[in-house]
Amino acid sequence: MKLLLALPMCLLVALAGCDEKKKSSKDLSLCERYADLELRCGGYGEGARGIARSTCEDAHKAAADDVMLKMIKLESECALPDTDCDAYKACVEKAKEENSPFE
């Protein structure tokens, strides 16, 4: 009988753990938003998400020597909350024109 009384409570606890809400882009870190936009807008597979995020994090910690990390840092600054692909791509192109680390 006690088992029947405890069962609904166990189900409630289990379901509460499964009710994890999806984060909105406003709740994501800069590098998480960057990785999300790179996947959505760049056509990369889900497997690239961790690489994009960690490379972005490295870019924000890196010394000013590495040109590729400078470029990723520049691109990541375009990953604003609620940015769509067109706005992201336009921002990246403008940033490259104005602040290209390759010059």
Question: Domain map of the chain by residue range?
Answer: 25-99
- The CA distances from residue 72 to 48, 58, 59, in Å, are 14, 9, 6
Q: What is the pLDDT along the chain (103 residues), one digit of tens a residue?
A: 454 344 334 333 343 443 334 455 556 899 999 999 999 998 888 899 999 999 999 999 877 678 889 899 999 999 988 889 999 999 999 998 998 777 6
The tokens 């924000």 sit on which residue?
60
